[in-house]
Amino acid sequence: MARQIRSLIELTSKQTAEFLASLGDRSNDKARVKTIKDAMKAKYNVIL
């Protein structure tokens, strides 16, 4: 990560195709779902 924030992730044609293809890849979905469920269970003391 550079100091400057790259908020626009600009994809080339090839990268766009790879990104769109990755959307359909569900091979690691158990880990993803577990991560989200674990996160939603966590209770943090937050001061805003």
Partner 1 sequence: MAPKLDEKGIIIERLRQEHVWLLSAFDCGSESENSFLRQDALANQQAHLSETYLLMEKSAKKALSYLTLTFGSFKLAGDRKLSGTKVKKKPFRIFANNMPCLLVAKLATDKSEVGRGAATHLLKFAIQKAKEIDSIMALRFLALDAYAGKADFYQKKGFKIAYKPRKTDKTVTLYLELFI
Task: Catalog residues that contact partner 1 under the rule CB under 8 A.
Answer: 1-3, 5-25, 28-40, 42-48
User: What is the nearest approach in angstroms of partner 1 to the Cβ of residue 18?
Assistant: 4
CA–CA separation, 22 vs 16, rounded Å? 10
Tell the smallest beta-carbon distance from residue 27 to partner 1 (Å).
9
CB of 38 to partner 1, least distance (A): 7
Q: Are 19 and 11 in contact (CB under 8 A)?
A: yes
Tell me how far apart the alpha carbons of residues 45 and 48 are, in angstroms, rounded to a whole number.
Answer: 10
